């Protein structure tokens, strides 16, 4: 990690007073985990401290850690090694505190210092994940939080208008959750008798796909295809 990032890390840790825990990140990135109880205080410090000056919330999203580091393709032939590898081994250091299923991710930018930092806030409960809204800190969080609510089902306490943003009226479920079926629950079609579009249970049969290994070598040259 560069000296610039290390200096930023020292400055952040000096100002948040133990309310944020540094977590695993890429060498050119800086990430911290913050408990829900300390979210607002940490956000205000990051925004209003002149040495930090994170005035912009560039993005807010969420992560569903259900079956994290488990086999992605549940088949008899999938293994943990070789070309049929179904997962990448991860240590518990990558998981949020308390093995929370859901976590909210905040991407912050300091324009004046040209620096970035990522915050991860684990949701205390899995059945009804809730975190505090940060609209009062960054107004741009409004639609970001609505999107996370719509796609992940995470509630934002204090949001003035927490409605679905991307899915249709009457949509049931949250499509970015890991246990949401890939084919969805309902499909639409035009009914000629009723002369309108109707909803019906999805007719696609679920199936598991294991990626094929395509080797780019002479065996697949067009001139040798189907050669005896």
Reported as a pLDDT band with limits 50, 70 and 90, residue 96 is: confident
- Residue 21's DSSP bridge partners are 33
Residue 138 has pLDDT above 90, yes or no: yes
Query: Which tens digit of pLDDT belongs to each residue from 62-88?
Result: 999 987 866 555 455 555 555 445 555
Residue 218 has pLDDT above 70, yes or no: no
**CA quadruple 196, 199, 203, 207: dihedral sign:** positive
Residue 114 has pLDDT above 70, yes or no: yes
- Domains of the chain (ranges; CATH) run 3-166 (3.30.460.80)
Query: Which tens digit of pLDDT belongs to each residue from 152-181?
Result: 999 999 999 999 999 988 888 999 999 998
61 DSSP assignment = E
- Residue 109's DSSP bridge partners are 56, 116
The residue assigned the tokens 């996370």 is 148
Total Cβ atoms within 10 A of residue 182: 10
Instruction: Count helices and strands (H / E) in the chain.
Output: 3, 9
Mean pLDDT of 126-146: 96
Least confident range from 86-90, 102-106, 138-142: namely 86-90
Reported as a pLDDT band with limits 50, 70 and 90, residue 108 is: very high
Reported as a pLDDT band with limits 50, 70 and 90, residue 213 is: low
- CA 185 centroid distance within chain: 22
Instruction: Indicate the average pLDDT of the chain.
Output: 86
Query: Which tens digit of pLDDT belongs to each residue from 13-24?
Result: 999 989 999 998
Tokens describing residue 115: 């620096």
pTM of the complete model: 0.80
Q: What percent of the chain has pLDDT over 90?
A: 58
94 compared with 137, residue with greater pLDDT: 137
Could you tell me which of 32, 39, 37 has the C-alpha nearest to residue 96?
A: 32
What b-and-e string marks burial along 79-118, b requiring 16 or more CB atoms within 10 Å of the CB? eeeeeeebeeeeeeeebbeeebbbbbebbbbbeeeebbbb
């Amino acid at each position: 990690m560069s000296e610039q990032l290390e200096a930023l890390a020292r400055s952040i840790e000096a100002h948040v007073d133990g309310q944020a825990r540094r977590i695993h990140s890429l060498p050119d990135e800086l990430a911290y985990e913050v408990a829900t109880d300390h979210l607002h205080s940490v956000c205000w410090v990051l925004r209003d401290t002149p040495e930090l000056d994170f005035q912009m919330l560039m993005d807010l999203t969420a992560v569903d850690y259900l079956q994290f580091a488990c086999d992605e393709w549940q088949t008899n032939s999938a293994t943990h090694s070789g070309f049929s590898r179904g997962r990448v081994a991860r240590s518990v250091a990558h998981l949020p505190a308390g093995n929370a299923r859901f976590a909210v991710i905040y991407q912050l930018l300091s324009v004046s210092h040209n620096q970035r930092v990522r915050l991860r806030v684990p949701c205390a409960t899995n059945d009804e994940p809730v975190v505090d809204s940060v609209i009062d800190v960054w107004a741009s969080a409004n639609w970001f939080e609505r999107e996370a609510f719509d796609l992940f089902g995470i509630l934002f306490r204090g949001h003035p208008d927490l409605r679905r943003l991307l899915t249709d009226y009457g949509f049931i479920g949250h499509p970015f959750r890991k246990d949401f079926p890939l084919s969805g629950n309902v499909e639409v079609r035009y009914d000629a008798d009723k002369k309108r579009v109707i909803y019906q249970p999805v007719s696609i049969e679920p199936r598991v796909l294991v990626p094929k290994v395509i080797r780019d070598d002479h065996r697949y040259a067009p001139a040798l295809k189907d050669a005896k």
